[in-house]
Amino acid sequence: MRVIVIGAGAAGLMAAGQAAASGAQVTVLEKNERPGKKLLITGKGRCNITNMEIMPDFIKYIPGNGQFLYSALAKFSNYDMVGFINDLGVETKVERGGRVFPVSDKAADVVNALVGFCRQQGVEFEFSAAVDKVTAENGRVAQVRLKDGRYYDADVVILATGGASYPGTGSTGDGYAIAKKLGHTITPLKPALIPLETAEEWVKELQGLSLKNVEIAVFDGSKKVVSEFGEMLFTHFGISGPIILTISRPMTGLLEQGRPITAKINLKPALTLDQLDDRIQRDFSKFVNKQFRNSLGELLPKSLIPVMVRLSGISEDKPVHQVSREERRSLAELIQGLPLTVTRPRPLKEAIVTSGGISVKEINPKTMESKLVKGLYITGEVADIDGYTGGFNLQAAFSMGYVAGTSVSGQ
């Protein structure tokens, strides 16, 4: 059985190793000069391998066609993945939110373990091998042609090329073109986990400021659409960080419709408005002889204070004992509802994950084989599947790769 795997990322490496373990002759074609380039940058270089959320709730964290993965996750779950990577010598740990990382905090350890597994099973690698097209004869894959003119005959082709985000890692959308030429439908590509641009100029003053334990709520007009609690980051263009990436998916759809989208940041979500007002009163009493701009040091991060003073409309030179009850109440409301006008997501190439791709309606969920072309298997981000940040997307890739790799022996 001659199996060609296109792409040496999470899905491709898993698929290649499993196919070879089943007795197939496997060659991995990777356009980069080394494997796992995108894997190496996941989790800020630490590799968020999976998430320990229980099944079937795991599916809820994959809003982009997560139901398609029921069978794949049943065959190779998050627990199976942890056991698999542990057996390869990579110890793991579970952090906040169920995120699983290698104990070493090194993504390279995960990549090396997966590549080592593949080589142990006899997988051959060809690097700097960019695929031009996959040809089919009589409804079945027959050959893989490279851009340099070389070709490989194949009984099975596993497409694991990744999406269209982070093109520097090799995810340049090649798989969509290959699949389209073979008759597959490509659903529109959009950024799924992506930072957001805002209209307010003051965010530039806060570039680099990270906020923890805050809540952001998104409004479509006056209607609350989604909210998320956790960590975020101000950038030169707007907002980023874990909770921003999570809310970006529904927001992108609304922004495309031209909806009036606003976001409000609650800097003190653990307090009621009355409790926050009491806290401000205590601080004002403590700094009773100070000016307003010098009274917020124990309440807010230093770099945020000048912005909040301006937005409050209270004179920065005003002695705190002269701040009125109405002004103080208004300040509390601002702290619990700092408004931002979201204008657009950042470009697709900056997205962590691509939404859209090869239609899952054209893929057999039990095997990952194409319903249109025999011997063609589709795995990972090239398919129209995307989840939230936290290890869900990598698990989807690993599970799909596992199912594809173990299914080829049935050919």
**pLDDT at residue 411 in the model:** 64
Please answer whether residues 252 and 190 qualify as being in contact, where contact means their C-beta atoms are separated by less than 8 angstroms: yes
Place of tokens 């208004």: 330
Mean pLDDT score across all residues of the chain: 95
**pLDDT at residue 254 in the model:** 86
- Categorize the per-residue pLDDT at 392 as very low, low, confident or very high, splitting at 50, 70 and 90: very high
**pLDDT at residue 252 in the model:** 86
The span from the CA of 147 to the CA of 160, in Å, is 17
Is the model's pLDDT at 371 over the cut of 90?
A: yes
Any residues with CB less than 8 A from the CB of 229 and at least 6 apart, and which?
213, 214, 215, 243, 269
Structure confidence by residue, pLDDT tens digits, 5-46: 999 999 999 999 999 999 999 999 999 999 999 999 988 899
| Segment among 178-182, 202-206, 349-353 with least mean pLDDT | 349-353
Report the DSSP beta bridge partners of residue 226: 218
**pLDDT at residue 171 in the model:** 72
The span from the CA of 246 to the CA of 187, in Å, is 21
* Strand order across the beta sheet in which 140-146 lies: 131-137, 140-146, 151-153
The span from the CA of 276 to the CA of 287, in Å, is 17
Query: Would strands 92-94 and 99-102 be described as parallel, antiparallel, or unpaired?
Result: antiparallel
**pLDDT at residue 249 in the model:** 86
CA contacts within 13 A on the Cβ side of 385 = 34
- 56 upstream amide cis, omega within 30 of 0: yes
The span from the CA of 222 to the CA of 273, in Å, is 20
- Categorize the per-residue pLDDT at 224 as very low, low, confident or very high, splitting at 50, 70 and 90: very high
The span from the CA of 233 to the CA of 303, in Å, is 13
The span from the CA of 360 to the CA of 187, in Å, is 9
| Single pTM value for the model | 0.89
| Segment among 68-77, 191-200, 267-276 with least mean pLDDT | 191-200
Span(s) in the chain for CATH 3.50.50.60: 2-190+354-410
DSSP code for 282: H
Is the model's pLDDT at 338 over the cut of 70?
A: yes
DSSP string, 57-115: GGGGG-TBTGGGGHHHHHHS-HHHHHHHHHHTT--EEE-GGGEEEETT--HHHHHHHHH
Element containing residue 248 per DSSP (H, E): helix 242-256
Q: Which of 50-59, 117-126, 161-170, 247-256 has the highest average model confidence (pLDDT)?
A: 117-126
Please answer whether residues 315 and 292 qualify as being in contact, where contact means their C-beta atoms are separated by less than 8 angstroms: yes
CA-based torsion, 233, 235, 240, 242: positive or negative = negative
The span from the CA of 136 to the CA of 287, in Å, is 77
Structure confidence by residue, pLDDT tens digits, 74-108: 999 999 999 999 999 999 999 989 999 999 999 99
The span from the CA of 299 to the CA of 224, in Å, is 27
Tell me which fold the domain 2-190+354-410 belongs to.
FAD/NAD(P)-binding domain (3.50.50)
Kindly state the average pLDDT of the residues 229-253. Answer: 93
* Whole-Å CA distances, 16 to 249, 284, 347, 379, 382: 31, 64, 32, 11, 16
Percent of the chain with pLDDT over 90: 87
Report the DSSP beta bridge partners of residue 384: none
Percent of the chain with pLDDT over 70: 99
Count the neighbouring beta carbons within 10 Å of the beta carbon of residue 91.
Answer: 10
Structure confidence by residue, pLDDT tens digits, 177-189: 999 999 999 999 9
The span from the CA of 343 to the CA of 257, in Å, is 12
DSSP string, 319-334: BGGG--HHHHHHHHHH
More reliable by pLDDT, 214 or 190: 214
The span from the CA of 379 to the CA of 369, in Å, is 9
The span from the CA of 256 to the CA of 252, in Å, is 6
* Main-chain phi, psi angles of 193, to 5 degrees: -110, 105
- Categorize the per-residue pLDDT at 360 as very low, low, confident or very high, splitting at 50, 70 and 90: very high
132-145 in b/e form (b: 16+ CB < 10 A) is: bbbebeeeebeebe
